[in-house]
């Protein structure tokens, strides 16, 4: 089996400085019910989740009154405070429920590294899904909605799609009706930065 090298770039540390630091401090302070001048934002990173919808960030802040650092997770869209551990637990629940078409090693990879930008996978589809006509157009529309440009090709027992997809795309692909299974094509090697 081929080996793909994937760099875990998913929870990038974005230095918070200048006016973006002021905006971040204001956003976090609002979520905490504090004044912005009471906190200092030390770090911002994405809270990557494969199955849970939405985008979330984790800010590491220092309370300037107590001197204590803490992590605060926020919903990027609403700015509301969220429970990062509850979101991770929900991601695991959804993986068990919606990820049944994923090979077990692939499902585990998505849960451990939802930030991966490229995973080599092969998805197999029910035989009727790749044929010409309405089912084919519907499948291609669903793939396009997920940002997947590849099209299924005929194989011995139906149709298959081989592609390099992000962890989130793989999780969404596994939820499509005509998909029978999704397997890893290459064993990933995760490199920490």
Least confident of 29-43, 59-73, 154-168: 154-168
When pLDDT is averaged across residues 26-42 and rounded to a whole number, the result is: 91
Least confident of 17-21, 67-71, 104-108, 139-143: 17-21
- pLDDT at residue 94, as a whole number: 95
Q: Return the bridge partners of 190, or none.
A: 6
The domain ranges of the chain are 7-87, 101-191
Dihedral pair phi/psi, residue 12, rounded to 5°: -65, 145
**11, 117 contact by CB (below 8 A):** no
Q: Which CATH architecture has domain 101-191?
A: 2-Layer Sandwich (3.30)
pTM of the model: 0.77
Q: Is residue 143 over pLDDT 90?
A: no
Cα–Cα distance list, 188 to 1, 3, 4, 109, 166 (Å): 11, 6, 5, 9, 13
At residue 133 the predicted structure's pLDDT band, cuts being 50, 70 and 90, is low
% of the chain with per-residue pLDDT over 70: 83
7-87 is a CATH 2.60.40 domain: no
Which one of 65-74, 119-128, 172-181 scores highest in mean pLDDT? Answer: 65-74
């Amino acid at each position: 089996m081929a080996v793909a090298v994937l760099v875990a770039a998913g929870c990038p540390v974005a230095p918070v400085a200048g006016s973006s630091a002021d905006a971040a401090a204001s956003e976090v302070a609002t979520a905490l019910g504090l004044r912005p001048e009471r906190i200092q934002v030390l770090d911002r990173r994405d809270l990557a989740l494969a199955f849970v919808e939405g985008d979330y960030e984790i800010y590491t802040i220092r309370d300037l009154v107590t001197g204590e650092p803490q992590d605060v997770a926020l919903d990027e869209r609403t700015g509301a405070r969220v429970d990062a551990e509850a979101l991770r637990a929900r991601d695991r629940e959804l993986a068990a429920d919606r990820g049944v078409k994923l090979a077990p090693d692939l499902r585990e990879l998505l849960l451990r590294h939802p930030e991966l930008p490229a995973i080599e996978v092969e998805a197999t589809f029910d035989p009727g899904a790749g044929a010409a006509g309405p089912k084919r157009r519907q499948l291609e529309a669903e793939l396009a909605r997920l940002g997947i440009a590849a099209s299924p090709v005929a194989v011995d027992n139906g149709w298959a799609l081989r592609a390099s997809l992000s962890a989130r795309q793989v999780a969404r692909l596994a939820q499509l009706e005509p998909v029978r299974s999704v397997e890893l094509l290459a064993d990933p090697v995760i490199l920490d930065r």
